[in-house]
């Protein structure tokens, strides 16, 4: 059940510094359209896509069967301000978000908590890209 990629999402993904082997975190993945596109571009890399909505994650999983079976993509129901790496899980090379209230200034308290979680989840040289903003290195995230 493929979902067509909008030009907004396609343009955003095109602008990401993707390459094979990256570990990528998508924040606020909705139905997983961007996550599936990223998984096609990172070869043997891996993408974890999260969303606070169980309904969105359910839809994303239904639309991502081949990527899930290939082990390239994983979904979790969790808000970024509550996110934590699971034991043994490596940190991410890249994290990105489009229109996520906790990260775009709409919810400042959640944003502060989210940035602490992101600092812990990203490699020091990893990049955080929020909407069309300038990328922030993991070790430069202000908590």
Alpha-carbon gap, residue 52 to 54, rounded angstroms: 6
Confidence class of residue 2 from pLDDT cuts 50, 70 and 90? low
- CATH number belonging to the domain at 7-134, selected among 3.20.20.140, 3.40.50.12160, 3.40.50.150, 3.40.640.10: 3.40.50.150
Alpha-carbon gap, residue 91 to 75, rounded angstroms: 16
Helix residue spans in the chain (DSSP H): 7-15, 33-41, 54-62, 65-70, 108-121
Q: What is the dihedral of CA 70, 90, 113, 68, to 10 degrees?
A: 10
Judge whether residue 1 has pLDDT over 50: no
pLDDT in tens, 116-126: 999 999 999 99
Domain ranges of the chain: 7-134
Read off the DSSP letter of residue 85: P
Judge whether residue 15 has pLDDT over 50: yes
Please list, in sequence order, all residues whose beta carbon lies within 8 angstroms of the beta carbon of residue 35, skipping any fewer than 6 positions away: 26, 29, 47, 49, 60, 64, 67, 73, 75
pTM score: 0.93
pLDDT in tens, 17-44: 999 999 999 999 999 999 999 999 999 9
pLDDT in tens, 61-103: 999 999 999 999 999 999 999 999 999 999 999 999 998 988 8
Alpha-carbon gap, residue 88 to 79, rounded angstroms: 20
């Amino acid at each position: 059940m493929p979902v067509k990629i909008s030009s907004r999402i396609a343009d955003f993904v095109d602008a990401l510094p993707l390459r094979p082997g990256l570990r990528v975190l998508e924040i606020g993945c909705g139905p997983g359209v961007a996550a599936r596109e990223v998984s096609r571009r990172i070869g043997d890399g891996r993408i974890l896509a999260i969303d606070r909505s169980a309904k969105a994650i359910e839809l994303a999983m239904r639309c991502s069967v081949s990527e899930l079976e290939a082990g390239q993509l994983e979904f979790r129901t969790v808000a970024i301000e509550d996110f934590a790496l699971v034991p043994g899980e490596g940190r991410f090379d890249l994290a990105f978000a489009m229109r996520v209230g906790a990260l775009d200034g709409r919810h400042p308290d959640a944003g502060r908590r989210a940035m602490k979680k992101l600092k812990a989840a990203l490699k020091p040289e990893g990049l955080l890209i929020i909407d069309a903003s300038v990328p922030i290195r993991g070790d430069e995230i202000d908590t």
